[in-house]
């Protein structure tokens, strides 16, 4: 039948009466709708790890959390993808290892209690985490994931070594630590420093120095007559040496070891007083930025290096070498798990390149 004989409906008649401008607007709206429809992407798979499918949406969501969402997008996408890939491999390795997750939960509770004791209380820990943008639950979740990894790596790395003991390669011998100490002469260096007591008469609010100087000179005279420096500082000193709110008087005026190399620039007047004299009472008051100071030098230390025989040095070296060994074991374990896993697309995921998710 010819289209000329088809009856025209009322809506069609109304459509014919639309103005050219309205018709043009409708056509433009339709074109824009089609254009938007063309950029809609399905949440397709980026990779398959055994039974686990990693999708584009997962990668994009994880990438938004990398570096706070700043930095080149492609780099964030790659890092997010690699993290998801490793998590998938480790999660399936944990399932295969079939260890008891209740043990992990108990260790998380113990670590949380220990952290609360270190911070003073649970509320103090919560306040600290809040300043870092985290909750106590975020902290527990992070600790649980870290412990899961640690337990997995321990179980997978407990192989019989040359000595016949599990993980024997992780033992740090004194000879190995001594060799590291000799090869890293810049480590454990201690700069020249002084230890002193200060009793400071702070300048008045109006900036007047006369009263502060008179007060400091009266203290110096008392010390010359045999007064106890610590008692004097506890009673009178009002200097805040570290900017932390702790007054020097709270420590009987005693400063910890002070070094311009390690602690930053010192007040020039203090530096001159420290360098010019040996231990003992400085015979005149010293004008500092904060006020007039009475100074007693307690000890001076030249630039030196902590000896290898120091137990704390050997402990630090052992910890560094052990962390290095653990890191190497983790990488080896990851490579081994990756090699045993079914990965798609295999030619890309066996290496380090990450596929780009759609924009």
- The dihedral formed by the CA atoms of 53, 55, 58 and 64, expressed in degrees to the nearest 10: 140
Same domain, 250 and 229: yes
Count of CB atoms situated within 10 Å of the CB of 57: 15
Same domain, 198 and 328: no
E runs forming strands in 106-253: 189-190, 193-202
Question: SS3 of 45, please?
Answer: strand
Confidence at residue 260, expressed as pLDDT on a 0 to 100 scale: 66
Mean pLDDT (the chain, rounded)? 75
CATH number of the domain that 294 lies in?
A: 3.10.50.40
C-alpha 25/C-alpha 37 separation (Å) is: 18
Confidence at residue 184, expressed as pLDDT on a 0 to 100 scale: 94
Residues 87, 121: contact at Cβ < 8 Å? no
Same domain, 195 and 332: no
Confidence at residue 308, expressed as pLDDT on a 0 to 100 scale: 94
Asked if pLDDT for residue 241 goes beyond 60, the answer is: no
Asked if pLDDT for residue 323 goes beyond 70, the answer is: yes
Count of CB atoms situated within 10 Å of the CB of 90: 19
Q: Of residues 38 and 260, which shows the higher confidence score? A: 260
Residue 136: its H or E element? helix 136-157
Same domain, 244 and 194: yes
Same domain, 317 and 269: no
Same domain, 299 and 198: yes
Residue 59: its H or E element? helix 56-64
Same domain, 230 and 286: yes
Q: Of 309, 280, 313, 314, nearest to 295 (Cα)?
A: 280
Establish if 238 belongs to a structural domain. yes
Establish if 297 belongs to a structural domain. yes
34-86: per-residue pLDDT in tens? Answer: 444 444 444 678 888 888 888 888 888 888 888 777 788 888 888 888 888 88
Domain count, the chain: 2
111-141: per-residue pLDDT in tens? Answer: 888 888 888 888 888 988 888 888 999 889 8
Q: Is 257 buried (19+), middle (13-18) or exposed (0-12) by CB count in 10 A?
A: middle
Residues 83, 54: contact at Cβ < 8 Å? no
Same domain, 241 and 199: yes
Establish if 34 belongs to a structural domain. no
141-183: per-residue pLDDT in tens? Answer: 888 887 777 777 666 655 544 444 444 445 678 899 999 999 9
- Compute the average pLDDT of residues 277-286: 88
- Compute the average pLDDT of residues 238-254: 50
Same domain, 199 and 300: yes
Confidence at residue 50, expressed as pLDDT on a 0 to 100 scale: 83
SS3 helix, strand, coil % of the chain, rounded to 5?
Answer: 55, 10, 30
Domain that holds residue 213: 190-305
Residues 83, 359: contact at Cβ < 8 Å? no
Band of the pLDDT at 4, cuts 50, 70, 90? very low
pTM for the structure as a whole:
0.47
Count of CB atoms situated within 10 Å of the CB of 121: 10
Confidence at residue 33, expressed as pLDDT on a 0 to 100 scale: 47
Same domain, 181 and 313: yes
Question: SS3 of 120, please?
Answer: coil
Asked if pLDDT for residue 15 goes beyond 80, the answer is: no
Confidence at residue 217, expressed as pLDDT on a 0 to 100 scale: 93
- Compute the average pLDDT of residues 297-317: 90
């Amino acid at each position: 039948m010819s289209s000329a004989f088809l009856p025209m409906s009322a809506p069609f008649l109304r459509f014919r009466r639309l103005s050219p401008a309205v018709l043009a607007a409708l056509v433009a709206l339709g074109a824009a709708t089609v254009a938007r429809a063309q950029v809609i992407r399905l949440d397709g798979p980026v990779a398959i790890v055994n039974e686990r499918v990693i999708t584009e949406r997962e990668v994009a969501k994880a990438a938004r959390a990398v570096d706070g969402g700043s930095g080149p997008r492609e780099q964030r996408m790659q890092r997010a993808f690699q993290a998801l890939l490793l998590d998938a491999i480790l999660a399936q390795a944990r399932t295969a290892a079939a260890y008891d997750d209740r043990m992990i939960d108990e260790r998380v509770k113990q670590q949380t209690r220990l952290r609360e004791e270190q911070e003073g209380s649970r509320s103090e820990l919560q306040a600290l985490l809040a300043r870092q943008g985290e909750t106590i639950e975020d902290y527990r979740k992070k600790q649980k994931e870290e412990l899961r990894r640690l337990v997995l790596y321990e179980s997978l790395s407990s192989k019989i070594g040359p000595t016949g003991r599990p993980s024997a390669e992780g033992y740090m011998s004194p000879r190995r630590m001594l060799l590291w100490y000799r090869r890293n002469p810049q480590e454990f260096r201690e700069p020249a420093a002084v230890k002193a007591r200060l009793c400071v008469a702070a300048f008045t609010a109006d900036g007047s120095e006369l009263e502060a100087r008179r007060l400091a000179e009266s203290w110096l005279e008392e010390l010359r007559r045999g007064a106890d420096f610590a008692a004097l500082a506890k009673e009178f000193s009002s200097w805040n040496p570290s900017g932390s709110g702790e007054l020097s008087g709270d420590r009987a005026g005693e400063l910890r070891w002070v070094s311009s190399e390690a602690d930053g620039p010192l007040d020039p007047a203090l530096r001159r007083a420290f360098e010019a004299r040996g231990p003992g009472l400085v015979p005149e008051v010293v004008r500092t930025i904060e006020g007039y100071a009475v100074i007693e030098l307690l000890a001076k230390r030249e630039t030196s290096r902590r000896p290898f025989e120091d137990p704390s040095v050997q402990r630090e070296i052992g910890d560094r070498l052990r962390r290095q060994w653990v890191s190497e074991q983790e990488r080896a374990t990851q490579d081994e798990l990756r090699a045993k896993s079914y990965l798609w697309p295999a030619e890309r995921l066996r290496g380090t390149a990450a596929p780009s998710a759609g924009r």
